[in-house]
Amino acid sequence: MDKQLAAILLIACLLFPVGVAFAEWSAEFSLEGRWHTEEAVDPQQHSGGLSLSGLAEYYASWDGGDQQLVFKPFFRTSEYHDGRAHVDIRELYWLMSGDDWELRVGVDKVFWGVTEAYHLVDVINQADLLENPDGEQKLGQPMIKYSHEGEVGVLDAYLLLGFRERAFPNEKGRLRTHPMVDVNNAQYETHKDYPGFAARWSGSLDDWDLGLAYFHGISREPRFELSLAEGVPVLTPHYDVIDQVSLDVQLVDDDWLWKFETLYRSGSANSYAAATGGFEYTFVGIADTDMDLGVLLELIYDDRAELAATPFNRDVFIGLRWVGNDVAGTEVLAGLLYDQQNHSRFLGVEASRRLVNDWKFEFQLRRWLGIALDDPTYAYRQDDYFEAKLIKYL
């Protein structure tokens, strides 16, 4: 990874022209307090505290905007030394684009898919679980990406260089497994530098958005095996090589957004099919105000059922999205995920509001309710928390 980064930097420097047409730095810092409302499963685990994170961005463009350089470093420090402190290069790429093509070389983040509750087909980047257990935060992935645009769609080809292991909190951290994940002893079916390859065609035709993708490489989701490390039981992560084909579809019809994602994944350990889909219906201008209220319903299906390493196997998600459309851009998203087989429930609330002059406030609540013993989130059953975050933009 380090060698590849150095190579990318070198390439970027060589291509960097003397006269950059446009360049700017920007940054955001956020002070976050997270409080756990229940006693931890393991007394070593903390009950919450403060944490500071920063994300800077350097952006330069030249050649009439056809060439760009983007650099986005990220850091987090944490008061409670729970392993959440980390640094990452979220993005560092050079981009060149022509009339119907685009080339990106470097570290980047890619999002695939359409659903809200569970991003099933999104496979390129490793989830940054230290940031948030929802997996929406991602680690930067080194890649070479070439896109070719046609009449209705675009074909993206990815060469994924270097694999990012999933990080987990240490023994003091909340939202971790018991026993702990032995992060220093990850097992690979091949080797860590095994390159990945992916291709995706996506297009829009009238009211339809479609994506068809193929991925070959190391699975971002490890499989765990119980073993002993120095006489202590641990979960050893195993990273298999997988092949995945996926389809994501979205249809817009007036106030309705219909969403569907499905995949078939094969690997040496197991092969399975999974799907998720549903709708978001928006009531625009409720009660003669400017506010919108969206109702979300999504179903999640995995043919491995309770054998799935993911909590998302036979679940129903019901959500409400309230958008104030006010000057402060107030938004609230609340969702309940219900496992139809073991009746475990997960409740999440996210709210945000802009404050004066480049300040923003965010609130989060996560609760695990009635989590069954056989559910993969059983380890989180006493990790309910709420989080308040103050963000300053520079």
Partner 1 sequence: MIKRDLMAALWLVFLGSLLGMTQATAQTPEARGLEIAQEVNHRDTGFGDYQVDMEMLLRNQHGDESLRYMRSRVMEVSGDGDKSMIIFDRPRDVKGTALLTYTHKSEPDDQWLYLPALKRVKRIASRNKSGPFMGSEFAYEDLTSQEVEKYTYRFLQETELNGQPMFLIERYPVDENSGYKKQQVWINQVEYRAEKIDFYDRKESLLKTLVFQDYHQYLGQYWRSGEMVMQNHQTGKSTVLTWKNFQFRNGFTESDFKKNALKRAK
Q: Which residues bind partner 1 (CB under 8 A)?
A: 26, 28, 59, 61, 68, 70, 95, 97, 99-100, 102, 109-111, 114, 136, 147, 149, 154, 202, 204, 207, 209, 250, 252, 254-257, 280, 282, 284-285, 290, 292, 325-329, 354, 358, 360, 391, 393
Task: Compute the least distance from the CB of residue 263 to partner 1, in Å.
Answer: 18
Task: Compute the least distance from the CB of residue 81 to partner 1, in Å.
Answer: 27
HSE of 65 in the Cβ direction (CA atoms, 13 Å)?
1
Fill in the amino acid letter for 101: W
* Cβ nearer to partner 1, comparing 287 with 327: 327
The β-bridge relationship of strands 232-239 and 187-188 is parallel
**What is the residue-wise DSSP string for 65-118?**
GTEEEEEEEEEEEETT-SS--EEEEEEEEEEEE-SSEEEEEEEE-------SS-
* Cβ nearer to partner 1, comparing 190 with 325: 325
Task: Compute the least distance from the CB of residue 114 to partner 1, in Å.
Answer: 8
* Cβ nearer to partner 1, comparing 248 with 383: 248
Task: Compute the least distance from the CB of residue 57 to partner 1, in Å.
Answer: 9
* Cβ nearer to partner 1, comparing 224 with 279: 279
* Cβ nearer to partner 1, comparing 265 with 321: 321
* Cβ nearer to partner 1, comparing 114 with 235: 114
Task: Compute the least distance from the CB of residue 226 to partner 1, in Å.
Answer: 34
Distance between CA atoms of residues 293 and 65, nearest Å: 38
Strand order in the sheet with 232-239: 187-188, 232-239, 223-229
* Cβ nearer to partner 1, comparing 26 with 340: 26
Distance between CA atoms of residues 128 and 138, nearest Å: 5
Task: Compute the least distance from the CB of residue 336 to partner 1, in Å.
Answer: 22
Non-local (6+) Cβ contacts of 228 within 8 A are 234
Distance between CA atoms of residues 119 and 310, nearest Å: 12
Structure tokens, 192? 């860590």
* Cβ nearer to partner 1, comparing 121 with 181: 121
Radius of gyration of the chain, Cα coordinates, nearest whole angstrom: 22
Task: Compute the least distance from the CB of residue 105 to partner 1, in Å.
Answer: 14
Task: Compute the least distance from the CB of residue 308 to partner 1, in Å.
Answer: 25
- Answer for the pair 259, 275: CB distance below 8 angstroms, yes or no: no
* Cβ nearer to partner 1, comparing 240 with 298: 298
Does the N-terminal peptide bond of residue 179 adopt cis geometry, omega within 30 degrees of 0? yes
Distance between CA atoms of residues 48 and 40, nearest Å: 10
**What is the residue-wise DSSP string for 15-59?**
H--SS-SEEEEEEEEEEEEEEE-S--SSTTS--EEEEEEEEEEEE
Task: Compute the least distance from the CB of residue 357 to partner 1, in Å.
Answer: 9
